[in-house]
Structure 1
Amino acid sequence: MSTTDTDTIPGPRDGATPGASEGEALLEVKDLKMHFPIRQGIVWQRQIGAVKAVDGLDFSVSAGQSLGLVGESGCGKSTTGRLVTRLLEPTGGTIRFDGEDITHKRVSSMRAARQNLQMIFQDPYSSLNPRHTVGTIIETPMRLNGINPEGGHRKRAQELLEIVGLNPEHYNRYPNEFSGGQRQRIGIARALALKPKLIVADEPVSALDVSIQAQVVNLLQDLQREFNLAFVFIAHDLAVVRHFSERVAVMYLGKIVEVADRETLYSRPQHPYTHALLSAVPEADPDSESRRERIRLTGDVPSPINPPSGCRFRTRCWKAQDICASQEPPLVQLVGSAEGHQAACHFPEVKQVVAPEEIPSAPASAE
């Protein structure tokens, strides 16, 4: 059998993939960091600092599972997505995909991994080449990877257009002939072309109208169920994340401050920052909306160049004590909460599972 035969390429139409099975870790990230250097000088440059966009992330995604990454703009969500897909070279940490360490793989060596690791970009307008037809855009990944599907590239591209809800006859049209929602569907079709196991969706609906957002999110859910896809779903809209993701990780200033399954996090948040984010989500019921207590955070988001000592959220937190400035709270399992519910806070709603000597008996008094 030829190495370019479509039967050798695991993917959606092949049913269960031979790598990580349902429930197993398909993607494992440990202590992931991305520090962008700040340099000074024209001829002789020297580094004078770094933007700590991502500063020590730990998370995993199982086969067929969706993990939502949420947080304010600038917290490092999109950078995380680009690190996971190796569009950026990480400063530190490890990325294991399908049992293989891809942290520092060369570009040439990443080609096989990228067949199973694809990305949907945020802006449906700038992510598609305006000089290429829709057919060329979808076919290019297959041609670059030497994949010759049964029936040819054109037939496969038209199949993918139909799968994402577009007319196969649009094969010869150009991106400027489509609306924003239709362009995002083309981007989704391109991501599906190599039959991936995991897709990183970087705010895939933020540039779309509200009515179109629902259609695209529902499409992604249908594709996930049909093809057993895993997702890292990046968004700042908590309502969209709740609808799509099974587990949710909350990011603040380059770190994950809370992670739990969807129902637990939305009904019993433990970190003050998560409380504040959820309080900003409007209620559909007018009576509930009128009774909702909004938590308004004071102050600006600190700079990732020089983040606060200890807990990074302490400068805006109403629970902050002296210990928050001197000790960084670890992301740990919470007692009395659902399995896998972790938070990085010295004063959550429930106590943390740590050694007794690490739990402060009382907040340090201010002098």
Structure 2
Amino acid sequence: MSAEQTSLAKKKEPAAAPGRPLLEVEGLTKHFPVMGGFPFKRQVGAVQAVDDVSFTVAEGESLGLVGESGCGKSTTGRLVTRLYEPTAGSIKYLGQDITHASRKELAPIRSEIQMIFQDPYSSLNPRHTVGTIITNPMEINGINPPGGREARVKELLEIVGLNPEHYNRFPHEFSGGQRQRIGVARALALNPKLIIADEPVSALDVSIQAQVVNLLQNLQRELGIAFVFIAHDLSIVRHFSQRVAVMYLGKVVEIADRDSLYERPRHPYTHALLSAAPDADPDNAAAERIRLTGDVPSPLNPPSGCRFRTRCWKAQEKCATEEPVLLQLSGSADGHLTACHFPEDGDAKPATAAKVTDTVPEPRETED
């Protein structure tokens, strides 16, 4: 066992009861007001960033949250951590409703819900040393670990693969991957039960991405931490997450066990995302891609009914008049929920989609 694994094992807590819900999100909604008018400003609209999102995360589980840019993934993460105030819906942590909890009411559980931010360059205060950055959460929460805070910080640096002697260095003296590890160490300082990882590797090189993802997996396995893992890269999400939720224009359109979703996607949007992801298997080099046409609609004025219908090859009149409900379809695995009136069968290729054969590399029109 390595020194890192030994250090983690010392802090391993008793295993949680299997299936016990840690986080329960129901109907979560966030609309940002748009102000206009002269000389007196008034609300003239609202950006529907997140609209009626529901999911659960069990203790020790990892839930991947994927979708195109602007679909509401990061906003959802900030709502869960109460960095944003929800417009509607409910957030329960270990059965306690924290949707509109006051600052005083949130104080006891702040240490149990932490966040790893996307940009390792802007999320660390350049005027503070690494030791100060990681010590601050302990000072704010009045935590005095055995051996002192400095010893705890040096231990955390070692856990995330950094030299404890870097305690007095400043953020500008580290690479991007090292800075992200500092962000991980800061999130671990309070021994959290839930970490919201907002695209923690998107700003890093591929080789560094693998190191950070493996580090997070080791932490989850050894410490029993639950994750909401927000990312664009479908291959990383598949590697890290046990369940995956797919978002489009503020809504969850499909949620399922990792293997079920990747092997049998039921929503056309999920199918399009997976077809656009690179495949390392040379036998699949000539696989057909689904090329979506048009742009993502504005969250200021989303389409009626199904929000994906303006880009969907299966859209019919019903899609414009009736919003699909997230439910389990016949033939789907338990817990595989899809919001679509005309779902894919998963294994078959769509018959009427605009497709292109990948005989030569082409730029992807659909973000993954």
- Aligned partners of 1:63, 1:43: CA distance in 2, in Å? 52
- Aligned partners of 2:244, 2:202: CA distance in 1, in Å? 18
- Corresponding residue for 1:294? 289
Mapping of residues 201-212 of structure 1, within 5 Å: 201-212=197-208
- Aligned partners of 1:218, 1:91: CA distance in 2, in Å? 36
- Corresponding residue for 2:69? 73
- Corresponding residue for 1:3? none
Deviation readout 1:99-133 (Å, 9 max, x if unpaired) = 11110111232121111000000000000000000
- Corresponding residue for 2:318? 323
For the pair 1:307 / 2:305, whether they are aligned, the reply is no
Per-residue deviation, 1:302: 0.2
1:265 alignment partner, one of 261, 267, 273? 261
Per-residue deviation, 1:43: 5.0
2:105 alignment partner, one of 103, 109, 112? 109
- Corresponding residue for 1:359? none
2:88 alignment partner, one of 87, 92, 95? 92
- Aligned partners of 1:47, 1:22: CA distance in 2, in Å? 46
For the pair 1:339 / 2:334, whether they are aligned, the reply is yes
For the pair 1:39 / 2:49, whether they are aligned, the reply is no
Q: Secondary structure at the match of 1:191?
A: helix
- Aligned partners of 1:92, 1:131: CA distance in 2, in Å? 38
For the pair 1:246 / 2:246, whether they are aligned, the reply is no
Structure 1 pair 316/12, CA: closer, same or farther in 2 (3 Å)?
farther
Q: Secondary structure at the match of 2:288?
A: coil
Per-residue deviation, 1:41: 3.0
**Which consecutive unaligned segments of at least 5 residues does structure 2 have?**
1-8, 347-368
Per-residue deviation, 1:263: 0.4
- Corresponding residue for 1:13? 11
The percentage of aligned residue pairs carrying the same residue is 71
Q: Secondary structure at the match of 2:344?
A: coil
Structure 1 pair 188/302, CA: closer, same or farther in 2 (3 Å)?
same
Q: Is the Cα–Cα contact under 8 Å of residues 314 and 320 in structure 1 kept in the other structure? A: yes
Give the number of equivalent residue pairs: 338
- Aligned partners of 1:262, 1:350: CA distance in 2, in Å? 17
Deviation readout 1:296-318 (Å, 9 max, x if unpaired) = 00000000000000000000000
Mapping of residues 38-57 of structure 1, within 5 Å: 38-41=34-37, 43-57=39-53
- CA-atom RMSD in angstroms: 1.5
Deviation readout 1:247-289 (Å, 9 max, x if unpaired) = 0000000000000000000000000000000001111122311
- Aligned partners of 1:265, 1:344: CA distance in 2, in Å? 13
- Corresponding residue for 1:218? 214
Q: Secondary structure at the match of 1:294?
A: strand
Q: Is the Cα–Cα contact under 8 Å of residues 12 and 196 in structure 1 kept in the other structure? A: no
- Corresponding residue for 2:281? 285
Per-residue deviation, 1:160: 0.3
Q: Partner amino acid for 1:173? A: R
- Aligned partners of 1:241, 1:12: CA distance in 2, in Å? 28
- Aligned partners of 1:348, 1:287: CA distance in 2, in Å? 27
TM-score (norm 2): 0.90
Q: Partner amino acid for 1:59? A: F
Q: Secondary structure at the match of 1:301?
A: coil
Q: Which 4+ residue blocks in structure 1 deviate beyond 4 angstroms?
A: none
**Which consecutive unaligned segments of at least 5 residues does structure 1 have?**
1-10, 352-367
Q: Is the Cα–Cα contact under 8 Å of residues 135 and 171 in structure 1 kept in the other structure? A: yes
For the pair 1:177 / 2:173, whether they are aligned, the reply is yes
Q: Is the Cα–Cα contact under 8 Å of residues 12 and 227 in structure 1 kept in the other structure? A: no
For the pair 1:166 / 2:171, whether they are aligned, the reply is no
Q: Which moved more, 1:21-30 or 1:298-307?
A: 21-30
- Aligned partners of 1:282, 1:37: CA distance in 2, in Å? 38
Q: Partner amino acid for 1:334? A: L
Q: Is the Cα–Cα contact under 8 Å of residues 12 and 224 in structure 2 kept in the other structure? A: no
Q: Partner amino acid for 2:63? A: L
Q: Partner amino acid for 1:259? A: I
TM-score (norm 1): 0.90
- Aligned partners of 2:10, 2:243: CA distance in 1, in Å? 22
